[in-house]
Amino acid sequence: MDYPFLQRLRSGPLLADGAIGTLLYAEGVDYHRCFEELNLSQPNLVQGIHRRYITAGAELIETNTYGGNRIKLAAHGLEGRVRDINYAGAKVAREAREVSGEPVYVAGSMGPSGLSLRPGVSLKPEALAAAFQEQAEALLEGGVDLLIFETFTDAEELALAVRAARGVSDLPIIAQVTLTEDLKTLAGQDVAAVVRALEGLEVDVLGANCTIGPQGVLDVVTAMAGLTSKHISAMPNAGLPRYQEGRYFYLSTPQYFAEYAGRFLRAGVRIIGGCCGTTPQHIRAMREALAVARPSQAQHHARPTVVEEHPEAEDAPSPPAEAPTELARKLREGKFVVSVELDPPKGINPAKVLAGAAMLKEQGVDCINIGDSPMARVRMSALAMAVLIQQRVGLETIIHFTARDRNLMAIQSDLIGAHALGVRNVIALTGDPPRIGDYLNATAVWDVDSIGLISILKRLNEGRDFAGNSIARPTNFFVACAVTPTAPDLAKEQERFRRKLEAGTDFVMTQPLYTEEDLEKFLDDFGPVPAPVLLGILPMQSYRHAEFLHHEVGGIEIPERLRERMRRAGDRGREEGLAISLEFVTQVKGKVDGIYIMPSFGRYELAADIVRALHQE
């Protein structure tokens, strides 16, 4: 079978990862501990290391299963957990790939038994083959893309391991030996003998790793390349380790490895990586060197530039990965911002909304906020409309995001998707009950309310989902909450508002208000709000409209004196409603950080009139 890994290998050199054990040791894991068991007890730690290598540019990562055969695990009393440890190792590596979103290959790492050259210790070939087959089966079940046999000190044992694996899998195989400084295995085989032992087997890549540093490995793989037509791999140690003050240190620098990456390339090596002592810094340096050495191919296999990740404890959040949104920047700089709320269309044609957004952009609005099926009526999704506006109009958006229609998994999936599409400003809402809309039999989900939704958004900003699983890179959502200053049960509204702020709200959007007195009363009762406030402005269109808003829309109160003004205005209701809104905005401009205008009936020109008037002040 022509596996994708083999297709990729034919297209040009591929960069592998570096040491896992070195980084686990640097994290404080004792060398005497079973590193492979960490796949079960500390999977986040192992996954974090895989992710660091992917971030550095590795296209192939190896599972943390090098000593995962029953013979090696017996030293730790874990010989009965071969399947669990190897399956978990494959799963952790695959999850690291999935979280990163990069096209990375997962290689199931298999090391030697450690018995073949031990004096006085022997094991029947059948038992040895069974041990390798058991491990290969577990890795295959775990979903690896290929198998890599590495650091074998005896070519005969390596050949036996390959044959055992071929009994259960046709996955691609990399077979690597380690040699001493005299370029022989510990069993006494030179490079030619190694090639002879493996040439007739179903091995896709031959190579060398570990023990000797880049110079020695270059000599080995150069010799191999002259003896076989198979692909060649090279994964050297970072030189010989030095023991100092209770710790091991490797001396070869990333720059030194970068130099040898070019030399390996010129020697015909197809897979280049590192072994003991190599770190993500070594891999990153080699990635940059390979890009220089083969610019056309580097462009073909280019990956986006990403922020470097650092070793992390399981509970430690990563720093924000991206710049703040334009809205966040403007509010932090003290600009009085203006947003306009546009409802998505009820059908598939967004032309009117897009034209309205373009017109409002020309008038100088800062952003557009988009309802999420408001009043529980079916409309185009807020996210789709936001993406269209940002891509076609070039104006930043705020999406309303309700907990009503999605379960906990769908909420997080949609938010991660929104972030990937560039929609970062979100107001977290519980959502109107479905029974008030067009579909009386529709059900609501409400796994969380708006407070829980804010918590989810802030956890994503820490680089983790709600269950604590890593999402590789933190999001940078700018999170709003809603508040109703004229709520009938004001004590309850204030208590929920405090909880929203405690959950991490970045800015606040109020329900529509009409008088300075209502705003001041709420602020006096509640106290200072530790976040920017955008005041809701819903201009009245007519006396009938004013009566509807006051009597039939929850959370809106319009004083009798203003409704009387609208009654007296008669057929000039639109002009009077605009005048009332402008008077109110002028009164409160120094007490809030911005406004968001809600033009009724799709009359965007009314919002434009308010924006023009504000700019003329």
pLDDT higher than 90, residue 195: yes
Strand partners, 478: 425
pLDDT higher than 90, residue 325: yes
Q: Are 237 and 275 in contact (CB under 8 A)?
A: yes
Domains of the chain, with CATH numbers? Answer: 4-300 (3.20.20.330), 326-540+594-616 (3.20.20.220)
pTM of the model: 0.67
Q: Are 187 and 223 in contact (CB under 8 A)?
A: no
The 3 state secondary structure assigned to 247-315 is EEECCCCHHHHHHHHHHHHHCCCCEECCCCCCCHHHHHHHHHHHHHHCHHHHHHCCCCCCCCCCCCCCC
pLDDT of the residue at 26: 87
User: H helices of 74-174, where?
Assistant: 82-100, 125-142, 155-166
pLDDT of the residue at 617: 67
pLDDT higher than 70, residue 418: yes
Q: Which of 23-32, 88-97, 218-227, 493-502 has the lowest mean pLDDT?
A: 23-32
Where does residue 424 fall: left (phi above 0), alpha (psi -120 to 50 degrees), or beta otherwise? Answer: alpha
pLDDT of the residue at 88: 97
Strand partners, 339: 367, 596
pLDDT higher than 70, residue 304: no
Pick the closest to residue 473 from 302, 317, 293 (CA basis). Answer: 317
The structure tokens listed for 164 are 């055992």
Q: What is the mean pLDDT of residues 562-569?
A: 94
As to burial, measured by CB atoms within 10 angstroms (0-12 exposed, 13-18 middle, 19+ buried), residue 117 is: middle
CA separation, residue 113 to residues 52, 88, 89, 125, 529 (Å): 29, 20, 18, 11, 65
Rounded-to-integer distance, Cα 376 and Cα 380, Å: 12
**3-state SS class at 177:** strand
Q: Is the dihedral angle over the CA atoms 92, 93, 94, 97 positive or is it negative? A: positive
As to burial, measured by CB atoms within 10 angstroms (0-12 exposed, 13-18 middle, 19+ buried), residue 444 is: middle
Rounded-to-integer distance, Cα 608 and Cα 589, Å: 18
DSSP per position, 345-394: PSSS--HHHHHHHHHHHHHT--EEEE-SSGGG---S-HHHHHHHHHHHT-
Which percentage of the chain shows pLDDT scores above 90? 68
- Alpha-carbon Rg for the chain in angstroms: 32
pLDDT higher than 90, residue 213: no
Q: How many CB atoms lie within 10 A of CB 433?
A: 12
pLDDT higher than 80, residue 432: no
Pick the closest to residue 593 from 540, 538, 539, 528 (CA basis). Answer: 528
* Tally of CA atoms within 13 A in the half-sphere of 316 that contains its CB: 9
* pLDDT tens digits, one per residue of 103-160: 899 999 999 998 765 555 567 899 999 999 999 999 999 999 999 999 999 999 999 9
Average pLDDT of the chain is 88
The pLDDT confidence band at residue 403, using thresholds 50, 70 and 90, is confident
Pair type for strands 367-370 and 337-342: parallel
Position 322: which residue type? E
Q: What is the mean pLDDT of residues 315-326?
A: 59
pLDDT of the residue at 321: 47
Q: Tokens 């400003």 belong to which residue?
A: 425
DSSP 184: B
pLDDT higher than 90, residue 297: no
pLDDT higher than 50, residue 609: yes
Pick the closest to residue 97 from 109, 105, 89 (CA basis). Answer: 105
**What is the distance in angstroms between the CA of the first residue and the CA of the last residue of the chain?**
72
Q: What is the mean pLDDT of residues 588-605?
A: 90
Q: Are 399 and 423 in contact (CB under 8 A)?
A: yes
Position 37: which residue type? E
Pick the closest to residue 207 from 124, 281, 130, 268 (CA basis). Answer: 268
